[in-house]
Amino acid sequence: MILIDDRKGSKEFYPKLSKLTTCELSRLEFADFAFIGNGRGNKTYSIGVERKTIPDFIDSMHSGRLSGHQLSGLLKHYDIVYILLEGIWKEAPLTNKLIRFDKKRKGPVDLDFSGKAVTSRQINNFANSITINAALEYNCTVLFWRTPNQSQSVSWLRDTYLWWQKDFNKHSSHKQLQKPKEPRRAGLLNFQKPSTLQMMLMGVPDLGEKKSKVLSERFKTMQELVTAPVEDIAELHGFSKASAVKLLNVLMHGGDENDGTI
């Protein structure tokens, strides 16, 4: 269940969000939205989402409201914090100042703070400082996300909440990046990208990640695989003669839904 702060600025989300997933209004000391998510090894995480419109974010950036009172409270109350930036802006071509389209004025207006121009560099530097300092000083995770409007924010909240409700071990998208074959050096991410053949095979129904990897390590190209003798495939780990025949049938002719599992 998503808890929605019952004050102005958050409670307006309830009518739309309640039609998409389970949620209720509640008084939250920190964050606009909060819920519990599933992590590795049956661990659960408390997750808080702080929504900021672009003008509000700029105001809190200069006043110190976000980096001071709000952020410290968020980090104490939640394991993972999302800061959701809502709104559209772009840079003026010559000045690099941030501008947005104003419906009332029917044209672009400056995004500023007390008459002072604001640039995208300032916003990006501020967001990076928060993310890095939270990780290094507090060992906490702060993630920034952007949406163009409230409707997209509602969709993002639903999708993010549902992602966290899934059994963590059943997530598979991150497996596109395989574990390194060699021990990685400290401080470096050393992911091994799957081969083109493996990525193609992972799209075959019922084949799965492990069998796709076994095939891609034995055969270098799709042509080499589809022209291989059935016996060469059948001798691989996880395969039999029947599953090898089924695989070749799927790759060359599209297969048949009733042929059974590979």
CATH number at residue 232: 1.10.150.20
Last residue of a domain, one of 171, 187, 213: 171
123 shares a domain with 6: yes
DSSP state of 3: E
115 shares a domain with 55: yes
Whether 56 contacts 89, CB under 8 Å: no
240 shares a domain with 113: no
55 shares a domain with 104: yes
Provide the residue type at 202 as one letter. M
- 107-110/23-26 β-pairing: unpaired
232 shares a domain with 152: no
How many domains are contained in the chain?
2
132 shares a domain with 166: yes
115 shares a domain with 11: yes
165 shares a domain with 123: yes
Show pLDDT as tens, one digit a residue, over the chain (262 residues). Answer: 999 999 999 999 999 999 999 999 999 999 999 999 998 888 999 999 999 998 888 888 888 888 778 888 999 999 999 999 998 877 777 777 777 766 776 667 677 666 677 888 888 888 999 999 888 888 889 999 999 899 999 999 999 999 999 988 887 765 555 555 555 555 555 556 677 888 888 878 778 888 988 999 999 888 889 889 999 999 999 999 999 999 988 887 765 545 556 6
* DSSP reduced 3-state for 58: helix
167 shares a domain with 105: yes
| Distance in angstroms (rounded) separating the CA atoms of residues 130 and 141 | 10
28 shares a domain with 150: yes
Q: Where are the beta strands (DSSP E) in the chain?
A: 2-5, 23-26, 33-38, 44-53, 80-86, 90-91, 98-102, 107-110, 112-113, 116-117, 141-147
Locate 46 and state its tokens: 């408390």
Give the alpha-carbon dihedral of 110, 116, 122, 124, to 10 degrees: -30
18 belongs to a structural domain: yes
209 belongs to a structural domain: yes
CATH number at residue 45: 3.40.50.10130
180 belongs to a structural domain: no
Last residue of a domain, one of 171, 206, 239: 171
Print the domain residue range for 127: 2-171
205 belongs to a structural domain: yes
Buried/exposed code over 18-41 (b: 16+ C-beta within 10 A; e: otherwise)? eeebebeeeebebbbbbbebbeee
